[in-house]
Structures are given as C-alpha cells and as structure tokens.
C-alpha cells in the first residue's frame, strides 16, 4: 500500500514538472500586459494542502480562498470540515457469536479562518509575505455502545447487555496482557484494561502572526509554505454518560486550555488563481 502511494506521488510530481517545462516557453512567448504569470489585483485564488509523500496526497478537509485587493494585499478565508463515522453492527458478526458488542461513533468538526497577507515583492514569481489569521473551530462527538457484563445469578455466571450513550466523547479501550510468574515456578497471564476518551467535543478560537512564501511556478498554479506564532484557546465541553444499568448519568466537567507557541503547516499549499 505504501509503495502504491509512493508511486502515485512520484507520478503527480513528474506530471507537474512536465507541465511546468512545457509551459515555460509558452509563458515567455505569449505573456502580455493582460496575461500576467503571477496573481494581480482582483485575482481570486484557491488552495488545498498537498503532501506528495504523505498518506493522503491531497487533503480537502481544509480549503482556503484568497482575493487580491491590491498588488500587495490579499484577503484570505480558510474553511475546514471533517466528518467521521464508525458503525459496528450485530450483523457484522458470525451468527453463532453469543455476545455481539456493537458501537456507533460520529464526529463532526468545522471551522473558519479569516485573515490577510501583505506581499513584499511585486512582479516576482517568488513572493514572501507576512500576515494575520484568526481561527474559530467547533467539534461535536456522540457515541453509542452495547457491551456485556458478567453477573452471578441462580448459581451461574451470565452475561447481560449494557447500553452506553456518550454525549461529548468517544472511547478507546486498551487491553494489556501481563506475564506473572508463580513463586514456586511456572507462570500465568493476566490482563489490565483501561478506557481513554481521546476525541472530545470542543470549541476553540485563536490567532496567528504568519510568515510565508509562494512560488508561482506555472501560470495559474503555485505552491507555498507557511509558519507562524500565535495563541489558541480551547474549551472542552462536558461529557455525559447514560448507562442502562445505572440510575443517574455520569458527567465529566468541561475545562479550558490555552497554548501560545509556534505554528507551522507540515504540508505544501497547492493553489491556483483565475
């Protein structure tokens, strides 16, 4: 699978390089005052994340639009959206399985990032800039599980189903097997299990002071890199557990965090303009 993704990445890069070489001559010959090889005033630009050697070569979960209000200044707006769903049903098991543990998890995240850029150089295919960006995000998480617990009744152990609804998080159960020796020799295995709630509902806001550079290697096509320094405030929402064999729900309280530090985009930004 990794080799296949590597081959796809190399094909994409080779294709872009070939297009670049084939269009250089045409750009030099046909360039006129009305067909600039770099974005000009009133140009509209679109960007997405590009990782030529990553698991996902092109990422559509965060798009960014830009509008050049002048030769040096561009307004920008990033839009983020991500939706994940996992559904394990009883029909997914073998019919002979007595305890069909099921789960349903849904997570939706959206956000928007307004800002602006100031480009230092005019009429240059290499265009460094500084800018300011604000961010606003919201993530919702809901999950439902059916487990089985062991009970002793009428002289025997039975497994009874337990329904669990979680509003504000999903769970991850980790089981660790432990090798334990007997004092007189021999050994036996035991295990420990613990539950993590690694995805929680939250809302956040922040701001970044940005520095970046765009390279217009083809007409209407460019790549860019970007770093920044900023602050992000996150409010993790409360989590409510409704368990079928318990009278009252269990609640994890909300809490907030704040972080100030460097920001960087690990992907190249692949963009086009018209």
- pLDDT at 156 exceeding the cut of 90: no
User: 26-46, pLDDT tens digit by residue?
Assistant: 444 344 444 567 888 999 999
Contact 79, 107 (CB under 8 A): no
The pair of structure tokens assigned to 233 is 């405030």
In a domain, 89, yes or no: yes
In a domain, 234, yes or no: yes
Q: Domain range spanning residue 135?
A: 69-265
In a domain, 47, yes or no: no
The Cα 233–Cα 251 span in angstroms is 22
The Cα 84–Cα 104 span in angstroms is 11
Q: Tell me the average pLDDT across 2-25.
A: 42
- pLDDT at 54 exceeding the cut of 70: no
In a domain, 9, yes or no: no
In a domain, 127, yes or no: yes
In a domain, 10, yes or no: no
In a domain, 118, yes or no: yes
pLDDT at 196: 77
Q: State the pTM of this model.
A: 0.77
User: 199-218, pLDDT tens digit by residue?
Assistant: 899 999 999 999 999 999 88
The pair of structure tokens assigned to 61 is 């979960």
Number of domains within the chain: 1
Q: Tell me the average pLDDT across 58-64.
A: 75
The pair of structure tokens assigned to 33 is 């005052």
The Cα 87–Cα 108 span in angstroms is 15
User: 99-143, pLDDT tens digit by residue?
Assistant: 888 999 999 999 999 999 999 988 889 999 999 999 999 999 999
- pLDDT at 73 exceeding the cut of 90: yes
- pLDDT at 16 exceeding the cut of 70: no
> 3-state SS of the chain: helix, strand, coil percent to 5?
10, 65, 25
At residue 84 the predicted structure's pLDDT band, cuts being 50, 70 and 90, is very high
Contact 256, 229 (CB under 8 A): no
What does DSSP assign to residue 253? P
Q: Where are the beta strands (DSSP E) in the chain?
A: 44-50, 58-68, 73-88, 102-119, 126-153, 156-167, 169-181, 187-200, 202-218, 221-236, 239-243, 250-252, 255-264, 268-273
At residue 234 the predicted structure's pLDDT band, cuts being 50, 70 and 90, is very high
Contact 110, 83 (CB under 8 A): no
In a domain, 57, yes or no: no
Q: Tell me the average pLDDT across 57-70.
A: 83
């Amino acid at each position: 699978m990794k080799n296949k993704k590597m081959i796809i990445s190399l094909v994409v890069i080779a294709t872009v390089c070939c297009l670049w070489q084939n269009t250089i001559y045409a750009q030099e010959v046909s360039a006129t005052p009305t067909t600039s090889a770099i974005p000009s005033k009133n140009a509209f630009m679109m960007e997405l994340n590009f990782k030529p050697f990553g698991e996902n070569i092109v990422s559509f979960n965060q798009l960014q639009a830009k509008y050049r209000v002048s030769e040096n200044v561009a307004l920008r707006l990033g839009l983020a959206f991500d939706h994940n769903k996992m559904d394990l049903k009883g029909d997914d098991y073998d019919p002979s399985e007595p305890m069909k543990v099921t789960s349903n998890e849904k997570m939706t995240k959206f956000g928007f990032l307004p800002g602006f850029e100031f480009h230092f150089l005019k009429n240059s295919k290499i265009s460094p800039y500084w800018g300011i960006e604000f961010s606003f995000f919201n993530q919702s998480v809901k999950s439902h599980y059916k487990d089985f617990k062991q009970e002793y009744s009428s002289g025997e152990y039975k497994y009874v189903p337990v329904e669990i609804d979680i509003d504000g998080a999903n769970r991850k159960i980790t089981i660790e097997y432990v090798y334990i020796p007997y004092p007189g020799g021999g050994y036996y295995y035991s295990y420990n299990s613990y539950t993590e709630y690694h995805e929680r509902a939250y809302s956040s806001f922040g701001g970044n002071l940005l520095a970046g550079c765009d390279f217009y290697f083809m007409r209407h096509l460019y790549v860019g890199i970007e770093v920044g320094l900023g602050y992000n405030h996150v409010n993790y929402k409360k989590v409510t557990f409704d368990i079928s064999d318990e009278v009252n729900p269990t609640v994890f309280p909300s809490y907030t965090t704040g972080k100030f530090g460097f920001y960087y985009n690990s992907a190249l930004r692949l963009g086009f303009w018209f």
